[in-house]
Structure 1
Amino acid sequence: MDPLLPYGRIGPHAVLLLAACVLGLPGPVAWSQGTAPTTSGDAETAATEIPDDQSGTTTAPPILLEEVPNRAEATTAELATLLPRDSSHRTLERVGGETDLVLKEVETQLAKTRKMLTGRPNVRTLQRSSAELTEMLDHLRSLEEELDGQLDGFGDSFERIDKIAAVWTMTDELAKTKEDADATMLTRIAAVLGEIAQMRSSVVERRNELLSVRDKLVNPSVALAESIEQLQATVEARLAGIFRAEHPPLWSPRIRESLQMEWQTIGPQLLRKRFEERGQVSRKPTHSIGFQIVLFLAIGLTLRWLRQRTRARAEVDNRLRGAQLVFEHPWAMAVLITAFLTIPLDPLAPRSAGLVAAAFIAVATLRIVQRYLPDPLILFTWGLAILYILDRSRDLLDTTPTLSRLVFFAEMFGGLGLLIYLLRPSRIVKLPEERRGHPFFRPLYVAMSLAAGVLTIAILSDLFGWSDLAVLLGDGVLRSGYLGLVVFVLLKVAQGLAMFALVLRPLELVRAISNHRQRVQHWLERGLSVLAAGFWAALVCGQLGLLTPAIEVAKQVLGASVEIGALSVSLSDVVVFAFTVWFSFLLARWVQVLLQEDVFSRVRTSRGVPYAVSNLARYSVICLGFLVGLSAAGVEITKLAVVAGGLGVGIGFGLQNVVNNFVSGLILLFERPIDVGDTIELSDTSGTMKRIGIRASVIRTFDGAEVIVPNGMLISDKVTNWTLSDRRRRIDLNVGVEYGTPAQRVIDLLIDVAKANPKVIGDPEPVAFFENFGDSSLDFKLRAWFDADHATNTHTIHSEIAVAVQQALEDAHIGVPFPQRDLRLISMPPNAESDPNAATDLGAVKPPSDPRDGP
């Protein structure tokens, strides 16, 4: 159906549908199309939607004549919303102007690529050119996507305008068939149809403008895609023959001739042209330069203010010494942070911007890295920075391959010289002992030795004409070193900022962080180190052209799956599930610590509530993470009902004890008959409750042993909790004194001794009373209470009070008797006095003989 027509012809299937509708009505209905008069069935006719046989949609019915004025105003308002907005016009102007600039750059770059392919550039030049063309192609495609989004909006507008036009066209035909329709009504309908036609004309005009710009991007995009494909094919062919000498040796006369020709062609004007190449595109985002300057100033001023703060805080907190080193060069840090954040935003910047940025990054890196490296490494970093600037300036020589080859040869030779200088035993000995004892020193030493060997091979390869092999090896080693130094500085900057953030508000007010700052700092340093290592590896792979192949290989490996019947498990599903569960455990631990340190420590709760709620939150996060991991791995949660049924059968047969202990653990958490830190006694085990787990609990005995007790025993067996209702505990001390001592004097002395002990509490007060008349002494008892939270254990308090009582009795000259027995002899042999052996027979001890007595 022509979209310009209000409606098309009724097809056969539509006729059958209408016939069914007519037959289904309760009375005879007259259907008219054309000029047939309508009767009282007009309401039904107006309420019936006419199906479109070609589009599959339905056309709205004509408007009732009495509703035309109101519907005309509504239609005018709706058409106003379909007008092309000012934002669409601004987008068209911006994209159109940017397209003209980009197309010029694309034409220049394609011409340069064709000229470059006529020679024999090295593999790295081909890869760099391919990357530049890919950036341009991505930029063009982003413009195409933006235009396509605008065109999709116009398509919706066309569809809506056509529907509105169809309704008003049918309304106009209906009004012309009415004898009572006045001229004002017909004029109003004609005006609305004119507005619709004018609106459609405006939309068509704006759509054609968008299509005109969109068509300009088609051919350049195709040309860029073909050039990229050609470059990639050339790179693959060169890599396949990488062990063949594709260039003459450096001592060949052909090298001298080529160098003379290139030296004659090169000059200040050519260098300036290469330096400012792609400058016409960079003039487009002039606001990006201003944004970079503003961002640099803002970061620099902020870091300068932080330097003052760190200096003041480091004087009282030695833990900020490392952060203070980073903030000593705020403007150098600002350069690195600004470059890291903004350089990826302008991929089409001119070469001059790249060289200037390289120089600034090198200087800023040197300023910061000197704070962290010993003196023997300073010269190495200076040499590395100079080689980095030389490497970036080599981009200007991509049209002079021989001269570029010689510069690269000198760059590799300089890098090898720096490594040999650093790896000498005399230089290693000068390193500080803590540096040589660092765990990463040995792997770093081995890596630098391997780098020296690889550079040697690259130099020999370039010397004999294997330029592609030399570029791959030498460029990879050198750029790995450059990027490693920059990433190391960024890591130190990030660690310093994180360390300083831990002592600032609001993190300083978080007790979970302030009470465990050393541990948090350790984990932050480890996490940032891992991220820095991954970032460095990604940058190196990107420089070597291995990032995209590595990603593709990773996708293939992670996409590998094993199918067992209807079950399909891939490695990516397993990795996602494992990572989600690991992260849920980590998050659950942090939630538990946060609740215990920052929430429940600030509110008053009942005994055991913080431990119960924090553990419940921890288990909830773990369970939720497990379910999320299953869902992320592609497992349907609804199918877990089958697993739950299987678990129910297993529980019924073999997991009764496990479920019993699990439910008992929940009872312990919610009912709280035992809390962590309570002193309990269970059958033959007594000690302090250390942890209440989901299946078992841990009791630390007074001997230092840790006893694992199933939770079911703590619920079913008899347990004595010495600190259930409160933390007060009582000690009893029995004291016996000799007869004749005043009892009240002893009672007062015992109470004074108990009150003198700082661990004895005053409520309830200590008491002493006279208990009994013993066989050898007057028996007294002292009772005192102490707080278990502020004392070590009962035995220590008991010993301290007993020693104090003994000292007090001695100072009061009150004796402590020992048991005495009187023996009365009822009868004895007549010769017991003359014969000592007879007394011995009765059980008496024979007295020792006096040496002065004779035999």
Structure 2
Amino acid sequence: VNQHNKTLKKLEGDISANLSALEAIRKDWKGRKEFWENWAKMPEIERVKGNYADAFGEVNRIIATLLKEIENIYKNYALIQKQVASLLEKNNAYLRSVEKSLADNRGRLLDRKISLFHKDFYASLRDTSLLPQFRRDMIPSFRQVDVGGAKIPSRFILGAQLLLALVIGLLILFKREKLAEMEEWRFIWEHPWATGCFSAIGLLSFLYTGLLPIWRLIQWQIMGFSASGMLSSFLRDRSKILVIHFLASFFVLTIILHMTSFPEPLFRLYLAAVTLGAVIGFSLLLFYRIRREPEHQWDGFSWLLRIGILLASISFVAQCIGYETLAVVLLLTPIVSLFTVLFAFLGIKLVDGGLTVLFAHFPLPKTMFFESLRRDLNQRFHFISHVVIIGFAILYILRGWMGKNTVADAWAAVLHLSFTVASIRVSVKNALLMVLFIYLSFTVSELMQLFLDRELFPKRKMERGMRDLIKKMVHYGLITFGFLWAMSIFGIDLRNFAVLAGAVSIGIGFGLQNIVNNFVSGLILLFERPITVGDVVVLQGQWGTVRRIGLRSTIVESLDRSEIVVPNSQLVSEPFVNWTLSNSTARCSITVGVAYGTD
């Protein structure tokens, strides 16, 4: 229904644009008609008009015909627009009813139906219309839903998925010997076709619009078992592999029965049998695992088995006494959450490998700057991909536990979470934007420093102190700009910083003098440059080399390679010896003892 609405809204927008264009054309021709009529009434034209009566009549006739045709087209478009608006209204009404039904169903988590031991339940099993009704409902449940507005036909997406899976599988087979040398790629070269299928479905499935239910189910099944195959390379324990395959098979079979409108009494019996089998199977597996390997009785997998036994037991009891919805939620939601975590783990592994290969072979100039940029971007894209995949996985898990229809609904619910602090409305959306802008300011700052250090400074032949000064000023300037921008997005009026400055002044008066003193002294050292990184200095009788000048302190490395942290205020207020301030030549006196009587 949402896709229908998107299609209708797009159509409505196109119609409105065409109506606006027609209105402009109609005004233009009306203007031409008025111009022609006024021109024909001029005295000079009146005297010769009789000689060109046919021409004047033809022009008037053409303009009238055009205006009439434009009017007819305009009326047709207006009629279509009215029909589209009516369809939109009906769709929205239907959508509201669907959303209300879904909300009602979520609210019936603790609604109780008849028990599995009740006589009415057994009477429903003897109903001879169950299987015929199932056969009638099964075919419509797999029909294609024509939602319209598909930007890419499904057959093209399917072809692209098959081609991508084939290419990835063949590339892995072609590079198998090289990949086998790296243990971290074991899950890929052991399962090339599973990797290809998982990657193709994961990368291109979002392009589908109104996907045929049976094909959606097949894709889920392929992706689930492909992931199970790849995970077997990480899970050396056969019991873990067995549990993963069991959960994947149960989930796919349950979805099949749900999509085919499997009769409710039989579906309840199926769930009760599976949960009872899971309780027995997990209990035996845990018992033999602890008996065979006592040191693993409290590891992560053993805890997962215990949680599985608990959830399956509660689900079985709930199903037996009539809480069917609760039983289904306790079964399917944890399984979906578990496989979401596993899919995210595989996705991170695959994306990391893809990014490593991409940046290793991406054509960039062979200069120091671009080589450093390649490494920096590789690390940043790894970090960003991890955040995106983990964030999507968390949202997908929240979708199930929060009872939302889609990931977009869960995302919208999270973004709208907010609270008020001192008349400032703090929302998750603004907080995320603030973090994003601060991260971008740090990223731009580091890239700018990289460019200056690798590309600009070597050509200018600047001394070390000036380079450090420029880099730090660029860094702190960009960070300050990003911070102020983030604060404005967060909803904090920049005029309030005057109040903040007053609070800082009070803080300085109560005990921050040393910190502020060191900060100001750091700025003095950067601008006046009495010392620079690499200088040989003598502090309180100890020789050392300046390694880093920060805003609060300076790091000096002594001759025995120990690091001395010196507050900047000490370097500004107390004397010290700088042997290389204006000359790189230094002198060191060494006392040599000799025996008495030596010539």
SS at match of 2:44: coil
CA distance in structure 2 between the aligned counterparts of 1:733 and 1:286, rounded to whole angstroms: 81
Report how far residue 462 of structure 1 moved.
0.6
CA distance in structure 1 between the aligned counterparts of 2:461 and 2:503, rounded to whole angstroms: 37
Mapped pair 1:154 → 2:18: yes
Report how far residue 146 of structure 1 moved.
0.7
Which residue does 2:125 correspond to in 1?
259
SS at match of 1:372: coil
Give CA deviations for 1:70-89 in whole Å, capped at 9, x if unaligned.
Answer: xxxxxxxxxxxxxxxxxxxx
Which residue does 2:195 correspond to in 1?
333
Report the more deviating stretch, 369-378 or 668-677: 668-677
Q: TM-score, normalised by structure 2?
A: 0.80
SS at match of 1:561: strand
Q: Mark the runs of 5 or more structure 2 residues left unpaired by the alignment.
A: none
Let me know the Cα RMSD of the aligned residues. Answer: 4.6
> For the structure 1 residues 260 and 648, does the alpha-carbon distance in structure 2 shift closer, same or farther, using more than 3 Å as the test?
closer
Specify which of 167, 176, 179 is matched with residue 301 of structure 1.
167
> For the structure 1 residues 446 and 476, does the alpha-carbon distance in structure 2 shift closer, same or farther, using more than 3 Å as the test?
same
Which residue does 2:237 correspond to in 1?
375
> For the structure 1 residues 497 and 245, does the alpha-carbon distance in structure 2 shift closer, same or farther, using more than 3 Å as the test?
same
Which residue does 1:457 correspond to in 2?
314
CA distance in structure 2 between the aligned counterparts of 1:716 and 1:518, rounded to whole angstroms: 41
Letter in 1 for 2:126: Q
Q: TM-score, normalised by structure 1?
A: 0.58
Report how far residue 459 of structure 1 moved.
0.4
CA distance in structure 1 between the aligned counterparts of 2:17 and 2:372, rounded to whole angstroms: 56
Report how far residue 687 of structure 1 moved.
2.0
Q: Mark the runs of 5 or more structure 1 residues left unpaired by the alignment.
A: 1-136, 739-774, 779-855
Give CA deviations for 1:604-625 in whole Å, capped at 9, x if unaligned.
Answer: 7333144333323321221121
Contact 2:275/2:312, CA 8 A, preserved across alignment: yes
Specify which of 59, 67, 81 is matched with residue 211 of structure 1.
81
Specify which of 113, 116, 119 is matched with residue 246 of structure 1.
113
SS at match of 2:577: strand
Which residue does 2:154 correspond to in 1?
288
CA distance in structure 2 between the aligned counterparts of 1:520 and 1:442, rounded to whole angstroms: 37
Which residue does 2:204 correspond to in 1?
342
CA distance in structure 1 between the aligned counterparts of 2:473 and 2:532, rounded to whole angstroms: 14
> For the structure 1 residues 164 and 401, does the alpha-carbon distance in structure 2 shift closer, same or farther, using more than 3 Å as the test?
same
Contact 1:323/1:497, CA 8 A, preserved across alignment: no
Give CA deviations for 1:565-613 in whole Å, capped at 9, x if unaligned.
Answer: xxx3435487357625752575267437734875479757333144333
Letter in 2 for 1:594: L
Structure number with higher relative contact order (C-alpha < 8 Å, ≥ 6 residues apart): 2
Mapped pair 1:561 → 2:424: no
Give CA deviations for 1:733-755 in whole Å, capped at 9, x if unaligned.
Answer: 677989xxxxxxxxxxxxxxxxx
Which residue does 1:614 correspond to in 2?
471
CA distance in structure 2 between the aligned counterparts of 1:335 and 1:374, rounded to whole angstroms: 22
Give CA deviations for 1:152-175 in whole Å, capped at 9, x if unaligned.
Answer: 213422442353245334434533
Specify which of 362, 378, 389 is matched with residue 224 of structure 2.
362
Mapped pair 1:406 → 2:273: no
Report how far residue 378 of structure 1 moved.
1.7
Letter in 1 for 2:39: A
Letter in 2 for 1:413: L
CA distance in structure 1 between the aligned counterparts of 2:432 and 2:151, rounded to whole angstroms: 40
SS at match of 2:126: helix
Contact 2:340/2:393, CA 8 A, preserved across alignment: yes
Which residue does 1:97 correspond to in 2?
none
Specify which of 580, 587, 591 is matched with residue 443 of structure 2.
587
CA distance in structure 2 between the aligned counterparts of 1:379 and 1:678, rounded to whole angstroms: 64
Mapped pair 1:680 → 2:537: yes
Report how far residue 364 of structure 1 moved.
1.2
Report how far residue 696 of structure 1 moved.
3.5
Report the more deviating stretch, 453-462 or 617-626: 617-626
Which residue does 1:631 correspond to in 2?
488
Which residue does 2:35 correspond to in 1?
171
Report how far residue 204 of structure 1 moved.
1.3
> For the structure 1 residues 532 and 285, does the alpha-carbon distance in structure 2 shift closer, same or farther, using more than 3 Å as the test?
closer
CA distance in structure 2 between the aligned counterparts of 1:582 and 1:442, rounded to whole angstroms: 39
CA distance in structure 2 between the aligned counterparts of 1:702 and 1:337, rounded to whole angstroms: 55
Contact 2:141/2:260, CA 8 A, preserved across alignment: no
SS at match of 2:462: coil
The structure carrying a bigger helix percent of its residues is 2
Specify which of 89, 93, 105 is matched with residue 235 of structure 1.
105
Where do residues 484-495 of structure 1 align in structure 2 (5 Å cutoff)? 484-495=341-352
Where do residues 511-522 of structure 1 align in structure 2 (5 Å cutoff)? none
Report how far residue 301 of structure 1 moved.
1.4
Give CA deviations for 1:627-678 in whole Å, capped at 9, x if unaligned.
Answer: 21122112344x3785699699989999998777656544543554422232
Contact 1:299/1:334, CA 8 A, preserved across alignment: yes
Contact 2:414/2:428, CA 8 A, preserved across alignment: no
SS at match of 2:538: strand
Letter in 1 for 2:208: D
Contact 1:561/1:570, CA 8 A, preserved across alignment: yes
Specify which of 326, 330, 347 is matched with residue 473 of structure 1.
330
Which residue does 1:820 correspond to in 2?
none
Give CA deviations for 1:5-44 in whole Å, capped at 9, x if unaligned.
Answer: xxxxxxxxxxxxxxxxxxxxxxxxxxxxxxxxxxxxxxxx
Give CA deviations for 1:655-710 in whole Å, capped at 9, x if unaligned.
Answer: 99877765654454355442223221245554221221224323344463523232
SS at match of 1:687: strand
> For the structure 1 residues 414 and 277, does the alpha-carbon distance in structure 2 shift closer, same or farther, using more than 3 Å as the test?
farther
SS at match of 2:43: coil
Letter in 1 for 2:447: V
Which residue does 2:566 correspond to in 1?
708
